[in-house]
């Protein structure tokens, strides 16, 4: 008797959970489905769907054709790739260097370095944006992709924390053994510790590669020439005109957004396990 | 970084070095590098000498002028006649100015002076160290040996130098500059080159915190924005946290199939850039958007300003749930899998109900492990620019509760308000800087508490 009620209870519970998960899953997928659907839609003038089940189910790649023909999307895509590859390389190197130094090396001003980084990280980035713009201008760099690369990677040291958390977990014995065998510090760093830190390196690469695809505030400040836009700013400008509401670019926006989305999703999914290890390992270490 | 001498009283130490040092060391006080050149450390000595020459040249040509301006208490008196005929974007309005550049280059010069002062000190101290080595019968180090130290005992210096250079240029200097702006009257009425701005002391702080000026004064509006910032951060953080944990619990429950599929459904939302999903949501919730079309209604989801704009506020928090829950989900599933299973077995043997297990084991454990994460999230939400700006741009405009001159709007957080103040057609950089400082104070207060309380700071070497 006992056993049966227990079983029914479990079944009811499972059923509830499946229902809830399905409802929530739909809620999470629906907007994305809407994005994709709009992107592939053969556009009427406004690009609005009026009914749940649209009258015309015609699909096509017209929006993508318009995206590449009528806008500078191809150029934006190229710009973003240049910026994200370069800034990703610099950022990753910087983050690894700083977090390695703070985690594994003991030097006199280590505590002060930690505190300086902590304090600097507290200021909202927007506050310094205008000053950054003028510094770049003084260097003659505004409206160039180099400026973007410098801005995205210049303050990389501030995001050392998660990576340091990971380095902290690597046993000291590893480098002690190497040093006993006569390895120099750079060798320990490059040959002993880095190979052990693969998950966190992938995590750092992933996050720093993605950030230029998402930022539009700094680009908006630094870049004013249309052919230097990155995809995010380009797409943002496409639909963010002064008047609110829809405009005919919405379907084209969706086409561009789904391309960007597809790129990032692919990257993300292929490296998801590293990402999870990164945020759980580094961020929440007791 | 500029320390080395900070350990004891640096000035005292330098005086002692001068008193006890050899004549070569004393010479280094006046001719940097000389002491080293005389000891045949040619490369090093020449390096110091060259840097000194460069520094003096810079100070004579332009640096000195900026410093003089900065310390004489005025930020320029001659109005520049330059007019820029380019098609101006919002930020370019401050071009071709005087006060602005004086302040900016003044800051650069101060940084240059500090760096040089540090170099000068190391020059003297290196020479003093040579004295000691020679006194005890040793030999001064060769350039190669000096370099070798950087790959060995001082390996942290080459590791930290490039990142910190980036920090100084792109974070420290801009920040000093913006902090200084908080003490000037730099706003749309004092916009160089047409009109110059000047120091005003604590005037901006007084304006922001004093209650005079009625219900739409800066102080009242500031308190309203601050209150909403906290309300938002609270709900945004905890709604994400608990819903994320709930979903993680459901997916991780024994016997639930297709775990990976469920997780992927939610995680796709993380992978799509926020500006895409947020702009999409904004269009979905638009007055002409699909949601209203489907419901056959005309609800102003994001722009209804009745009842203190309660509807937009709720919608923002809901959209944020959509954006943020997957992150918590990812993290919590990791943690839940790590809870030692003997806890659960023991509880089950004792006959604890699932609900009791949740509240007595799962929740306390997760909360304990994720407290630092929660506070980082909270601080992150205080500064969550994207969600607010892309959904409502801080709106709707509500001049009754947010006085027109303050340029604040209903769903503004401090950051979005700051952003509007600097990008509006009538910018108020001075007020924006004060707000930036306030944000800094709030965030650092909270972070320092977390940092000191979190176990990872206290026992950072426990794993090693």
pLDDT above 90 covers a percentage of chain B that reads 16
The Cα–Cα gap between B151 and A22 comes to 57
- Look at residue A250 and tell me whether its pLDDT is greater than 60: yes
B299-313: per-residue pLDDT in tens?
888 888 888 889 999
Chain A contact present for B439, CB below 8 A: yes
B112-129: per-residue pLDDT in tens?
999 999 999 988 888 888
Instruction: Map tokens 């280059």 to a residue.
Output: B105
Q: Rounded to a whole number, what is the distance in Å from the CA of A82 to chain B's nearest CA?
A: 18
Closest residue in B to A152 (Cα–Cα):
B170
pLDDT of residue A286: 38
Q: Does B326 sit within 8 Å of A28, measured CB to CB?
A: yes
Entry pTM: 0.82
Q: How confident is the model at residue B93 (pLDDT cuts 50, 70, 90)?
A: very low
* Mean pLDDT for the stretch of residues B266-295: 85
Q: How confident is the model at residue A280 (pLDDT cuts 50, 70, 90)?
A: low
- Look at residue A88 and tell me whether its pLDDT is greater than 90: yes
Burial of B12 (0-12, 13-18, 19+ CB in 10 A): exposed
Chain B contact present for A250, CB below 8 A: yes
* Mean pLDDT for the stretch of residues A118-147: 82
Q: Does B284 sit within 8 Å of A97, measured CB to CB?
A: no
- Looking at per-residue pLDDT, the higher value among B151 and A76 belongs to A76
Q: What is the CATH number of domain B218-457?
A: 1.10.3720.10
Chain B contact present for A150, CB below 8 A: yes
B385-411: per-residue pLDDT in tens?
989 998 998 878 887 777 777 888 889
**DSSP assignment of B207-225:** HHH--TT-TTSHHHHHHHH
The Cα–Cα gap between A186 and A179 comes to 11
Chain B contact present for A6, CB below 8 A: no
The number of CA neighbours under 13 Å toward the Cβ of B87 is 2
pLDDT of residue B11: 80
CB contacts, 8 Å: B333 with chain A: 276
pLDDT of residue A108: 86
* Mean pLDDT for the stretch of residues A235-259: 76
Residue to mutate among A249, A284, A285, with most B CBs inside 10 A, is A284
pLDDT of residue A96: 95
- Looking at per-residue pLDDT, the higher value among B163 and B100 belongs to B163
Domain boundaries, chain B: 10-201, 218-457
Q: Does A213 sit within 8 Å of B163, measured CB to CB?
A: no
Mean of the per-residue pLDDT values of chain A: 83
Question: Which is nearest to B67 in space by CA: B114, B122, B32?
Answer: B114
Which residue among A101, A153, A250 sits closest to B166, beta carbon to beta carbon? A153
Q: How confident is the model at residue B314 (pLDDT cuts 50, 70, 90)?
A: very high
B 89-118 → A contacts, CB under 8 A: 89, 91-92, 94, 100-101, 104-105
Q: Rounded to a whole number, what is the distance in Å from the CA of B319 to chain A's nearest CA?
A: 11
B 34-53 → A contacts, CB under 8 A: none
A185-223: per-residue pLDDT in tens?
889 999 888 988 888 888 889 889 988 988 888 888 888
Exposure b/e, B310-332, CB count within 10 A at least 16 = b: ebbbebbbebbbbbbbbbbbbbb
Q: Does A130 sit within 8 Å of B94, measured CB to CB?
A: yes
Q: How confident is the model at residue B335 (pLDDT cuts 50, 70, 90)?
A: confident
């Amino acid at each position: 008797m006992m056993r049966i009620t227990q079983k029914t209870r479990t079944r009811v519970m499972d059923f509830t959970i499946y229902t809830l998960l399905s409802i929530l899953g739909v809620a999470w997928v629906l907007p994305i489905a809407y994005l994709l659907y709009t992107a592939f839609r053969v556009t009427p003038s406004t690009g609005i769907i009026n009914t749940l089940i649209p009258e015309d189910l015609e699909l096509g790649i017209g929006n993508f054709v318009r995206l590449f023909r009528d806008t500078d999307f191809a150029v934006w895509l190229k710009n973003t790739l240049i910026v994200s590859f370069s800034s990703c390389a610099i950022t990753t190197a910087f983050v690894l260097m700083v977090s390695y130094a703070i985690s594994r090396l003991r030097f006199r001003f280590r505590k002060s370095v930690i505190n300086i980084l902590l304090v600097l990280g507290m200021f909202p980035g927007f506050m310094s944006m205008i000053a950054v713009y003028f510094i770049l201008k003084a260097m003659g760099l505004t409206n160039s992709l180099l400026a973007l690369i410098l801005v995205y990677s210049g303050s990389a040291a501030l995001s050392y924390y998660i990576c340091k958390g990971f380095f902290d977990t690597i046993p000291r014995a590893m480098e002690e053994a190497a040093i006993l065998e006569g390895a120099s510090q750079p060798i320990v760093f490059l040959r002993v510790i880095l190979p052990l830190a693969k998950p966190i390196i992938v995590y750092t690469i992933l996050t720093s590669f993605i950030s230029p695809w998402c930022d539009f505030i700094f680009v908006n400040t630094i870049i004013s020439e249309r052919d230097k836009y990155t995809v995010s700013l380009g797409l943002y400008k496409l639909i963010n005109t002064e008047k609110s509401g829809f405009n005919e670019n919405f379907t084209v926006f969706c086409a561009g957004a789904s391309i960007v989305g597809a790129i990032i999703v692919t990257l993300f999914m292929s490296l998801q396990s590293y990402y999870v290890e990164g945020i759980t390992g580094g961020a929440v270490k007791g | 970084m500029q320390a080395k001498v900070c350990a004891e009283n640096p000035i005292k130490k330098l005086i002692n070095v001068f008193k006890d040092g050899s004549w070569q060391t004393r010479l280094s006080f006046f001719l940097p590098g000389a002491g080293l050149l005389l000891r045949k450390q040619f490369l090093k000595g020449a390096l110091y000498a060259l840097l000194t020459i460069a520094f003096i040249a810079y100070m004579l040509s332009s640096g000195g002028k900026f410093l003089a301006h900065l310390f004489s208490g005025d930020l320029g008196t001659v109005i520049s006649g330059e007019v820029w005929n380019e098609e101006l974007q919002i930020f370019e309005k401050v071009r071709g100015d005087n006060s602005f550049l004086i302040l900016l280059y003044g800051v650069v010069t101060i940084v240059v002076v500090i760096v040089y002062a540090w170099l000068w000190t190391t020059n003297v101290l290196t020479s003093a160290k040579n004295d000691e080595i020679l006194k005890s019968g040793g030999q001064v180090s060769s350039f190669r040996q000096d370099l070798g130290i950087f790959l060995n005992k001082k390996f942290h210096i080459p590791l930290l130098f490039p990142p910190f250079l980036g920090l100084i240029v792109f974070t420290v200097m801009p920040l000093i500059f913006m902090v200084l702006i908080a003490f000037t009257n730099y706003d749309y009425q004092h916009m160089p080159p047409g009109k110059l701005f000047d120091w005003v002391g604590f005037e901006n702080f007084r304006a922001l915190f004093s209650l005079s000026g009625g219900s739409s004064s800066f102080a009242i509006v500031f308190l309203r924005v601050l209150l909403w910032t906290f309300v938002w951060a609270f709900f945004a953080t905890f709604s994400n946290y608990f819903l994320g944990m709930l979903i993680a619990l459901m997916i991780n429950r024994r016997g639930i199939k297709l775990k990976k599929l469920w997780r992927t459904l939610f995680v796709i939302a993380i992978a799509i850039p926020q500006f895409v999903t947020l702009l999409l949501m904004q269009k979905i919730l638009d007055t002409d958007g699909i949601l209203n079309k489907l419901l056959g209604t005309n609800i102003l989801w994001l722009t209804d300003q009745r009842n203190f704009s309660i509807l937009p506020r709720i919608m923002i928090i809901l959209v944020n749930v959509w954006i943020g829950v997957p992150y918590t989900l990812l993290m919590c599933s990791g943690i839940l899998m790590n809870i030692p299973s003997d806890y659960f077995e023991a509880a089950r043997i004792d006959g604890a109900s699932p609900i009791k297990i949740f509240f007595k084991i799962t929740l306390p454990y997760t909360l304990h492990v994720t407290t630092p994460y929660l506070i980082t999230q909270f601080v992150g939400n205080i500064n969550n620019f994207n969600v607010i700006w892309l959904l409502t741009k801080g709106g709707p405009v509500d001049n009754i509760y947010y006085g027109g001159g303050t340029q604040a709007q209903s769903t503004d957080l401090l950051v979005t308000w700051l952003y509007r103040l600097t990008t509006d057609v009538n910018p108020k950089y001075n007020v924006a800087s004060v707000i930036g400082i306030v944000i800094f104070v709030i965030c650092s207060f909270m972070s320092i508490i977390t940092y000191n309380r979190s176990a990872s700071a206290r026992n950072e070497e426990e794993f090693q």
